Structure 1
């Protein structure tokens, strides 16, 4: 009987005895791995366990898995996909912190040390500052720190040349976390860890989507994963997190890797991402340009071609930004439309400061800007009413004038083209 008092609800001695008994049955050939795994995840099944098991059952299963690493070759088999999946799920478990989770922390530490000894997965766990402490069973480690470990390990697994097969294990781990996320998210909802878990999950998913885009784009997982990143990034906890900028950077690079302007679902996903990054009040409004900068080193690491980056950037400027500016005059009553325009003004001013000599995009946007900045019509004649011309609110026009001033300040030659 598993209690819900905290952790697995089962004593350490009981778990150790159970693990040794299962190991003995495996070594004697009495049980196969299928029967052993069915006992570990009972009363669930291996196919549904991570999508439906509660925290005590997950903790118990992970503690048993960690103690059976040397009893069966299944967990060490091939490229180490089962091992990396278990490590990712143990590390990202929202119940993995606090005094009640000491057993889960020890299981995570065992899995980490096993992965470092693995013939393929060792490449995913190099000696780096980002992975410092991941092999220790420290129960005070926050979910954000643990998410940083997962991001770093998956990044190395996806890009390492020392053991290219580790990329297969990274794909399996990403899919395992994606399958388990709804249950983990529901468990964290309404608790003090809800905001931090949302930010941590967005960070891990953005790493998976960007570094494994080529593998995931042929599956039905990619677009829902990108949309989930946008949803998680819009939560209160994620918006105030210091990792938000890097999450959004990887989000836009993932979109660039699979972007197709003819795909309606992809376009709605891009619009949602732009709304979160640009149109809502935020200090990270220029993150989109950092992500789509041709000189960005992360693009080279991900292997995204400059043509894809340029295509997405052009679509964003010529279609999305231009549309937001064009509708300003005719949407004065919409607070969201005005906020959207102000967000784009801020974003375009930021782009002008870093665009170098590449300013062709603004010559295309100039007519929309001049039209949106049209002042109120002046009445003609004494007592006459002004013509009924739609105009943008004064605050929005002022933001556009400020943007135009910034662009001209950094690109004075633009005046000759007006």
Structure 2
């Protein structure tokens, strides 16, 4: 992890760049794979699974028997932990439901809006180096609260062709019964286009590697909605002299172990804290089972020392982190000045892993600077909002001349006539 001391503002943009990839060749590769599944359905899905995952799967759909076996095989401790997390996530997301009252914008003109669950949604759950059963909760719970009628889940199987039991337990817990053992680009393609086995959905959710992310972005161009553009996971820690180097190092490593393309950033006004944190990083890194992955991520990461807290806040807002930890004495005051972040963790006892698993907030968040314009997944992500209006005869008489004047000024006479014909009666 490199330390950058008091960089000029002109250098900030380069310092805050995420690890880059060759997008052109990636798109060509992914586009070809999508096309294969679109043309040949299940046969292409099966071939791509054998090619990339070295797994031959005959029956993609996980049976009810397998689901039941997974539920029974999980240790009581893990089952209780997942259930506790689910309860917290459900409580937090349930509060996002809001009934909007109709409003009379003028006499005889009544307008309102209603949230309708997206009919068919697809969830992608990574299951490679880390089976993310927690993401099942983060996506499945708000989907069910929103009222989505059909929820399809795709996840790669292990080397024996089985889905991790914790993923199946979480799926059963959230009421998802259609789980397919399909991973990678082929899973996104199957949900986007539909195959003989996998139904086509209207919106696709979930994190993934660069191939999965690219696949989601490409199918979006073809009219399939996605949750958000997202890349490798990231965390930024803003820390002052009150912070614990051990806590910060643990937070940075918890993000770095996601993948070699993850990025972590430490921003501080205290040089001594940065040096102590770097020492602690090496001590903790040596103890991690995934230390090789974390080490590669740290090579893409840095600590930035700035003169003032105001500068540090400005840089953090420029970075627009997926996860932002504010390990400072005045954390809530600082949080009030944060404009760009996916999810914010306040104080010294709010590790990112709490939000990743069980505090209740959603961990599916915008990465790669998209927090400047995107929010994390919520119940709103799974609904479409339809507006309604009812005009009485009196209401149209009061509003009619306004509509006619505007329509005629735009040269849309048929619009004007739709009002005039009613006013003449």
TM-score (norm 2): 0.25
Higher relative contact order (Cα pairs below 8 Å, separated by 6+ residues): 2
TM-score (norm 1): 0.25
Give the greater-gyration-radius structure (CA). 1
